[in-house]
Amino acid sequence: MRKLTFAQATCEAMAETMEKDDKIFVMGEDLARQGGIFGQFKGLPEQFPGRIMDTPISETFIIGGGVGAALAGARPVVDMHFADFIGVPMDEVFNQMAKARYMFGGQAKVPLVLRAPDGMTFQGAAQHSQCVEAWFTHIPGVQVVAPSNPYDAKMVLKAAIESDDPVIYFENKILYKEKGEMPELADETPYTIGKARVEREGTDVTIVSYSIGMKNARGAADLLAKDGIKAEVIDLITLSPWDKETVLNSVKKTHRLCLVQEAVKQGGFCAEIAATVAEEAMEYLDAPILRYGAPFCPIPFAPTLEKMVRVFPEDLYKGIKGMF
């Protein structure tokens, strides 16, 4: 198989969908001029002249203009530069983008993808390092996805662009350079929004995560395997709507659950999973549910302090060992 980085995979997804549908266009800051600040649009401005648009520094315009274009029949992909900046156009997101189809009784649709680079970079500090996915899983009318590897990055983005409902596509900044195997176009399996994947079969504990949190899930599973503990690892991929059935079926088999996210632990998306399992599968649990996430503080700039707010596979390993 070919090997592509996460960023290259998203570029390929954009190119393949834009070739098929001339209603798809992209707008955001520094996209045509430099291919995006993380290189995730590199080459697209030359391949699709006039369809990769640089905008003023106005997040309100970027989202508001995208919503208007979608309502008028286009299929816009809008880039937020950093997910942290979604706080500026929140009215456009949760009052317009998410509710238009419902408010118009299904007579209008908003086929818009909001690409949101998120997560801790190295010394990105408090305003450029946040994971805010949990905010949007609380909003009816918006689909939320967060792939963890290059193949999923491509397939999930293609599914998001083809969706007739708005999708917020969280793409972790550290993952952009990660390489992974990519089949040829004819061998791809289309992704269905809302489906999780059991990435690793196991019988002793279920570890659930998404996006960069999967690095912790995989790492912990490897450490546990050395002790003879077989972890089942689930990549959620979609956070809203999330695949409750896959998680519940796994917990019923393993009787233990560990959840991990890079986002602040308090009020994070993993709390929704924990609550659902407690409500619907409590009788299957042989130990309390474990949750891991960042402490309740802004992300520090200093490297030593930044390291203190990160979760590592060893953290999960120690906690899970205590469940037995």
Q: Which residues pair with 28 in a beta bridge?
A: 54
Please state, as a whole number, how many other Cβ atoms lie within 10 Å of the Cβ of residue 314.
12
- In three-state secondary structure terms, 180 is strand
Which CATH code of 3.90.1570.10, 3.30.830.10, 1.10.10.10, 3.40.50.920 fits the domain covering 197-321? Answer: 3.40.50.920
Query: pLDDT tens across 200-238, in order?
Result: 999 999 999 999 999 999 999 999 999 999 999 999 999
Model confidence at 259: pLDDT above 90 = yes
Calpha distance 184→196 (Å, rounded): 23
Structure tokens at 39: 């290189």
Average pLDDT, the chain: 96
The domain limits of the chain are 2-187, 197-321
Consecutive H or E run containing 91: helix 90-91
In this prediction, residue 135 carries a pLDDT of: 97
- pLDDT interval class at 123 (50, 70, 90): confident
Fold match between domain 2-187 and domain 197-321? yes
Calpha distance 234→211 (Å, rounded): 11
Closest Cα to residue 212, out of 142, 293, 119?
119
Structure tokens at 309: 């707010």
Listed as own residue / partner, the contacts of 31-38 with beta carbons closer than 8 Å and 24 or more positions apart are 31/79, 36/79, 37/81, 38/7, 38/117, 38/173, 38/176
Which residues carry out catalysis?
Answer: 128
Structure tokens at 146: 């967060």
Q: What are the CA-CA distances from residue 306 to residues 22, 87, 121, 299, 301 (Å)?
A: 43, 23, 9, 6, 6
In this prediction, residue 33 carries a pLDDT of: 86
- pLDDT interval class at 309 (50, 70, 90): very high
42, burial (CB in 10 Å: exposed 0-12, middle 13-18, buried 19+)? middle
Model confidence at 316: pLDDT above 90 = yes
Average confidence (pLDDT) over 58-66: 96
Query: pLDDT tens across 76-120, in order?
Result: 999 999 999 999 999 999 999 999 999 999 999 999 999 999 999
Structure tokens at 219: 């790492």
Structure tokens at 316: 């999960």
Which CATH code of 3.20.20.80, 3.40.50.720, 3.30.420.10, 3.40.50.970 fits the domain covering 2-187? Answer: 3.40.50.970
